[in-house]
Chains A and B, each alone.
Chain A
Amino acid sequence: MKKRKIYICLIAIFALAVFGVAIVLPEYLNQSIEYINDFQTKTLRAQILEIPHIPVIPFKLGLDLQGGSQLIYDADLQSVEKKEKSEVMQGLRDVIERRINLFGVREPIVRVEEKGERKQLVVELPGIKNAQAIEMIGKTPYLEFKEEKTKEEIDQILERQKNGETITEDFYFRSTNLTGKYLKKAELDFGQTALEPQVALEFNEEGAKIFEDLTSRNVDKRVAIYIDNVLISAPVVREAISGGKAQISGKFTINEAKELVRNLNAGALPVPIKLIYQDIVGPTLGKISLEKSLQAGVYGFLAVALFMILVYRVSGFLASVSLLIYGIILLSLFKLIPVTLTLAGIGGAILSVGMAVDANVLNFERKREELKQGETFLVAVEKSFSRSWPAVRDSHFTALMIALIMFSFGTNFVKGFALALSLGILASLFSALFITRIFLMVFVGTRLEKIKWLWTR
């Protein structure tokens, strides 16, 4: 490589580092910019050059570091036809999202996740006051209308029970497709006698039609109303009801009826859900975790830098500088992509600091051999990079491969770790193969090059 080209690369690296620092620590730079702008107006009395502020991009912290809750609900889609499943899940998502918004949770995430046949709803709530919201999600009622089974069907079930089978299905009623999905609104009502509190339901257009069908085919039979799989009432249908209005008259107290109305209005679930996973981290705990991890990262970095300088002298010092640039690149990547930082991710990043110097160590050991054999500095550097390449490639590729396989695991912890580690491996390759090399090339042809003990032990 020509000297000029090396200097151009060196400037590019320097620019990259400055750019990285600007992204990672914009607050400090903005302070200096403000100072300069102030200085211009105050002292020079003229705004010669107004330097714009650097946009502040915050790190995206995972729930385990900022505190918050993650909940996973399993949706029971047995009664839903296959082609309607995703639509029902969207409905479910909307209902839950509305519920959460009622509580003013900041930036909630509600998303549907498919696990083969099963569908799950993942709810992420950052911040503190979640206990109430979680409780409210749990209280979202599942409203369902059912119709009578035929006599034969009931007999059959009773027969099966006699034979010792455990029956899990409903004895007398069969599910219909009329659920809380079609509910427009609910109201408290005292009926004609004004004694018994009732809940008046009003369906939307589609629901009204289904309700009409349901009542017309069940004249003189009972239609049962279930809330959260508990039978509330089963009135006998006298005639087909059009217009989409119905009453639930269980033996409610006024307060029970009021709460039911409130919950139904906040949204009734189209299908029943079950909480299968819950992870809550207090914000203080998260903050301590973050501080401790960062501290471990800093001391880990210092220890590695010290070790490299002791063992590889000036080469080690150059490697430490490129390790620092590597750290800056990694952190800016985290901000720019952006990667949600979790404890696991920081763990992976810290680990990658230790592994990042591996390529450097491989090269420096090679260089030492070449220098011992009497090669000149330039040849030793060139040869060490080309000869250690297969080992660097193979060892980094296997590590990367494992990280990618880990990714298929799917849980947040593993994904965070694998992503940070893979990014770390890639950034470390760049820093060891390009940055350290350019640094070394700068010394080619200088007087320092001749002093062997500076470069190797």
Chain B
Amino acid sequence: MYFAFIKYRKIFYIVSFFLSVAAVASIFLFGLKLGIDFTGGSSLELAYKNANEVPSVEIVRQTLSGLDLGEISLQKKGDKGFILKMKNISEENHQEILKRLGGLAELEQGSESFQMIGPIIGQEMKGKTIVVIFLALLAILLYVTLSFRRVTRPVKSYVYGIAGIIALGHDVLVPLGVLAFLGKLQGCEITIPIVVAFLTIFGYSISDSIVVFDRTRENLLKAKDSSFAVTVEKSLNETLARCFNTALTVLLVLFAMFFLGDPSLKYFSLTLIIGISCGVYSSIFLASPLLVTFQQSKTK
């Protein structure tokens, strides 16, 4: 089996382009919903003991009216529980909510969770996220440039870094677009775990591209007479099985986490599933063909 990746590269570019455009459109259309990790606010989860005694959303709202809670977003969690999200509330109000909702039917002991995040912490997290993402990108570019510094022909070493980062951008945009869509559909929010998922995608996507680049580097030193396009294509074919197999093993555990793991890590694993699938696609169909495109545009 030998795939002519380079010959059809325009098709892959178009696919990636459309995926990215769709993702950007989704982000602009639906907007990204930031979780209370970043905006500040409170989130309360509780569950009732018996599924048939669970009060309706309207009754819960009525029961809580009169308390100084601001605007409440009320979601069902499973068939027994609720998730309430509101502004920053005091400990007294937190206890009052529990008392009032506990008065409707018996609550499941120990199943409660409450989070209150002040606006200062939210701001701090926003700032940190930006710094960390920037640092990660910088570190990736530097590392790729450094480790490919001996390979300056026919493209300069930083071109590998740039191709890797373009592929990375694609791998981040697509899941971000899906999250924006899910935000509209199911109220999915961008939280710290999601940011962590994206940082992991950074690492995975780039290391995936690097493995292919690495083979290109090796083959360039070995076969000096064949053209750059041929060498890149050969390297792609040689690393294809590895890329798919590694991605599959990671996806297997991610699916286990998505279906069997804790619900609070559901969007985290979903983000990773989409990001890593894109990562395989982009490191094969985008990053390496881009090297050839860069090289040819230069020689023209």
Q: Give the top 10 A-B pairs by smallest Cβ distance, nearest first.
A: A276-B118, A300-B253, A284-B110, A395-B207, A402-B203, A354-B250, A300-B256, A296-B261, A354-B253, A278-B116
Tell me the bound Cα distance from A66 to B136 in angstroms: 33
B250 touches A355 (CB 8 A): yes
Besides A299-B260, A300-B253, A394-B147, 10 more A-B contacts (Cβ < 8 Å) are A131-B95, A275-B116, A293-B257, A297-B253, A394-B211, A398-B207, A399-B204, A399-B207, A409-B132, A411-B125
Contact with A along B246-264 (1 / 0, CB 8 A): 1011111111110111101
> Hey, which chain A residues are within 8 Å of B251, CB to CB?
354
Instruction: Evaluate whether A289 and B264 lie within 8 angstroms (CB atoms) in the complex, with A398-B207, A399-B207 already known.
Output: yes
Residues of chain A within 8 A (CB-CB) of B218 are 387, 390
Residues of B within 8 A of A350 (CB): 253, 256-257, 261
A62 at the interface (CB under 8 A from B): no
Select the residue from A284, A307, A361 with max chain B CB neighbours within 10 A: A361
Residues of A near B245 (CB, < 8 A) are 307, 311, 361, 365
B113 sits at the interface (CB 8 A): yes
- Asked if A406 lies at the interface with its beta carbon under 8 angstroms from chain B, I say yes
A355 CA to B113 CA in the complex, in Å?
A: 32
**Alpha-carbon distance A225/B195, docked complex (angstroms):** 48
On whether the beta carbons of A411 and B261 are closer than 8 Å, the reply is: no
Contacts of A311 in B (CB 8 A): 245
In the assembled complex, how far is the CB of residue A401 from the closest CB belonging to chain B, in whole angstroms? 5
Query: Which residues from 71 to 125 on chain B have a C-beta closer than 8 Å to any C-beta of chain A?
Result: 91-92, 95, 108-118, 120-121, 124-125
Residues of A within 8 A of B140 (CB): 398, 401-402
State whether B256 touches A299 (Cβ < 8 A): yes
Which residues of A in the span 392-409 have a Cβ within 8 Å of any Cβ on B? 394-399, 401-403, 405-406, 408-409
Q: Is the CB of B118 within 8 A of A275?
A: yes
Tell me the complex Cα distance, A131–B110, Å. 12
Report if A281 contacts B (CB, 8 A).
yes
Given known A282-B110, A347-B257, contact A276–B120 (CB-CB < 8 A): yes
Nearest residue, chain B, Cβ from A116:
B124
Interface of A is mostly: helix
Asked if A54 is an interface residue, CB under 8 A from chain B, the answer is no
Specify which chain B residues have a CB less than 8 angstroms from the CB of A282 in the assembled complex.
109-113
Contact A280 B114 (CB under 8 A): yes
State whether the Cβ of A279 lies closer than 8 Å to any Cβ in chain B: yes
Q: Is the CB of A296 within 8 A of B108?
A: no
- Collect the chain B residues with CB atoms within 8 Å of residue A128's CB: 110
B113/A402 in contact, CB under 8 A: no
Among A293, A303, A391, contact of B261 (Cβ-Cβ < 8 Å): A293
Residues on the A chain within 8 Å of B269, using CB: 347
Q: How far is the CA of A453 from the CA of B250 in the complex (A)?
A: 25
Tell me the residues in window 180-218 of chain B with beta carbons closer than 8 Å to chain A beta carbons: 192-193, 195-196, 199-200, 202-204, 206-208, 210-211, 214-215, 217-218
Interface residues of A in 67-93 (CB under 8 A from B): 67, 72, 74
Q: Which A residue sits closest to B148, measured CB to CB?
A: A394
Residue numbers in B under 8 Å from A299 (CB-CB): 256, 260
> When A284-B108, A285-B111, A401-B139 are in contact, do A362 and B211 touch as well, CB less than 8 Å?
yes
| Complex alpha-carbon distance, A311 and B241, angstroms | 10
Chain A residues within an 8 Å CB radius of B215: 391
Please tell me if the beta carbons of A292 and B204 are within 8 angstroms of each other in the complex.
no
> Is B272 close to A, CB under 8 A?
yes
Question: Given contacts A72-B121, A293-B262, A300-B252, are A391 and B113 in contact (CB under 8 A)?
Answer: no
Q: With A307-B252, A347-B257 as given contacts, are A369 and B203 in contact (CB-CB < 8 Å)?
A: no
Q: Enumerate B253-288 residues with CB–CB distance to A below 8 Å.
A: 253-257, 259-262, 264-265, 268-269, 272
Cross-chain pairs A/B with CB under 8 angstroms, 20 sampled:
A131-B95, A279-B114, A279-B116, A285-B45, A285-B110, A285-B113, A292-B261, A296-B261, A308-B249, A347-B257, A347-B261, A350-B253, A351-B254, A357-B249, A390-B218, A391-B211, A395-B207, A397-B143, A399-B204, A413-B192
Query: In this complex, what residue of B is CB-closest to A411?
Result: B192
Which A-chain residue is minimally distant from B206 (CB atoms)? A398
**B53 at the A interface (CB under 8 A):** no
Are B128 and A410 in contact, CB atoms less than 8 angstroms apart?
A: yes
Q: B238 an interface residue at 8 Å Cβ cutoff?
A: yes
Please state if A406 and B132 are interface contacts (CB–CB under 8 Å).
Answer: yes
| CB-based contact B199/A394 at 8 Å | no
Chain A contacts with B in 236-290, Cβ cutoff 8 A: 274-285, 288-289
- Asked if B135 is at the interface of the complex by the 8 Å CB criterion, the answer is yes
The answer to whether B128 touches A280, judged by C-beta atoms less than 8 angstroms apart, is no
The answer to whether A277 and B132 have CB atoms under 8 Å apart is no
B142's closest neighbor in chain A, by CB? A401
B98 vs chain A, min Cβ distance (A): 8
Scoring B111, B135, B140, B262 by chain A CB atoms within 10 A of each residue's CB, the highest score goes to: B262
Q: Which residues of the other chain, A, contact B214 by a CB distance below 8 angstroms?
A: 390-391, 394
Give the residues in chain B near A303, CB-CB below 8 Å.
252-253, 255-256
Give the Cβ gap from A338 to chain B, nearest Cβ, in Å: 22
Q: Is the CB of A365 within 8 A of B242?
A: yes
Q: Which positions 409-442 of chain A face chain B at CB distance < 8 Å?
A: 409-411, 413-414, 417-418, 421
A134 proximal to B (CB < 8 A):
yes
Is A445 part of the binding interface, using a Cβ–Cβ cutoff of 8 Å?
Answer: no
Q: CA of A187 to CA of B70 in the docked complex: distance in angstroms?
A: 41
CB pair A344–B193 under 8 Å, yes or no, is yes
- B242–A362 CB distance below 8 A: yes
State whether A408 touches B135 (Cβ < 8 A).
yes
- CB of A212 within 8 Å of the partner chain: no
Q: How far is the CA of A311 from the CA of B248 in the complex (A)?
A: 11
Chain B residue numbers with a CB within 8 Å of A138 are 91
